[in-house]
Structure 1
Amino acid sequence: MYHQLTEPERYTLSVLHRDGQSLRAIARLLGRSPSTISREVQRNRCHRTDGAYRPSKAQERTNGRRRRSRQVRQHDPDTYGRVEALLSHAQWNPEQIARWLALHGVARISHMTIYRHVHRDRLAGGNLRYCLRQAGKRRRKRTFGPERRGKLHGKPMIDTRPVEAEDRRQVGHWEGDTVIGTAGERACLLTLVERSTGLALIARLPHRTVKAVNRATVDLIGRSGLPFKTITWDNGTEFHGYQAIEQATGVRCYFAYPHHPWERGSNENFNGLLRQYPPKRRSLARAGQAHCDRITHKLNTRPRKRYGYQSPVERMQQLSGVLHLGC
Structure 2
Amino acid sequence: MPRQRVADEVRCWVWLLVADGHTQAGVARRFGLSSTTVRRIAHDPEVEKQVRDTSVSRLTLTGREEISRGIVEGVSNAEIARRIDRHRSTVGREINNNGGRDEYRAVAAHLAAQQRAKRPKLFKFEQFPLLAMVVACWLDLEQWSPEQISARLVLEFPDDETMRVSPETIYRALYVHGRGGLRKELAACLRTQPQHRRARPVTARNRDQSSIPDLVSIAERPDDIEDRLVPGHWEGDLIMGRNNGSQVGTLVERTTGLVMLSKLGTKQADHVADAIAARVRTLPAVLQGTLTWDRGTEMAAHRRFTMATDMKVYFCDPHAPWQRGSNENINGLLRQYLPRDSDLSQFSQEQLDAIAHKLNNRPRKRHSFLTPLEVFDQLVLH
Distance 2:363 2:205 in 1: 36
Which of 282, 286, 291 is 1:223 aligned to? 282
- Residue in structure 1 matched with residue 369 of structure 2 by the alignment: 309
Judge conservation of contact 2:209–2:318 (CA < 8 Å) in 1.
no
Deviation at 1:166, TM superposition (A): 0.5
Distance 2:222 2:293 in 1: 15
Deviation string, structure 1 residues 99-125 (Cα, Å, up to 9, x no partner): xxxxxxxxxxxxxxxxxxxxxxxxxxx
Residue 258 (structure 1) aligned with residue 318 (structure 2): yes
Deviation at 1:134, TM superposition (A): 8.0
Deviation at 1:219, TM superposition (A): 0.7
- Residue in structure 2 matched with residue 150 of structure 1 by the alignment: 210
Partner of 2:212, secondary structure, is coil
Query: Which is helix-richer, 1 or 2?
Result: 2
Which of 228, 244, 251 is 1:192 aligned to? 251
Distance 1:232 1:195 in 2: 10
Unaligned runs of 5+ in 2: 1-193
Residue 166 (structure 1) aligned with residue 241 (structure 2): no
What is the aligned length? 188
Distance 1:262 1:149 in 2: 16
Which of 267, 271, 289 is 1:208 aligned to? 267
Distance 2:377 2:251 in 1: 18
Distance 1:202 1:143 in 2: 22
Deviation at 1:143, TM superposition (A): 8.8
Deviation at 1:206, TM superposition (A): 0.7
Residue 274 (structure 1) aligned with residue 334 (structure 2): yes
- Residue in structure 1 matched with residue 346 of structure 2 by the alignment: 286
Distance 1:184 1:247 in 2: 29
Would the alpha carbon gap of residues 184 and 320 (structure 1) be closer, same or farther in structure 2, given more than 3 Å must change? closer
User: Which one-letter code corresponds to 1:191 in the other structure?
Assistant: T
Q: What RMSD, in angstroms, separates the aligned Cα atoms of the two structures?
A: 2.3
- Which of structure 1's runs of 4+ aligned residues deviate more than 4 A? 129-135
Would the alpha carbon gap of residues 310 and 133 (structure 1) be closer, same or farther in structure 2, given more than 3 Å must change? same
User: Which one-letter code corresponds to 1:225 in the other structure?
Assistant: P
Query: Identity percentage over the alignment?
Result: 38
Larger CA Rg, structure 1 vs 2:
2
Deviation string, structure 1 residues 131-154 (Cα, Å, up to 9, x no partner): 55489x7x87x595xx63321254
- Residue in structure 2 matched with residue 39 of structure 1 by the alignment: none
Deviation at 1:224, TM superposition (A): 2.7
Partner of 2:344, secondary structure, is coil
Partner of 1:170, secondary structure, is coil
Deviation string, structure 1 residues 9-29 (Cα, Å, up to 9, x no partner): xxxxxxxxxxxxxxxxxxxxx
Judge conservation of contact 2:205–2:319 (CA < 8 Å) in 1.
no
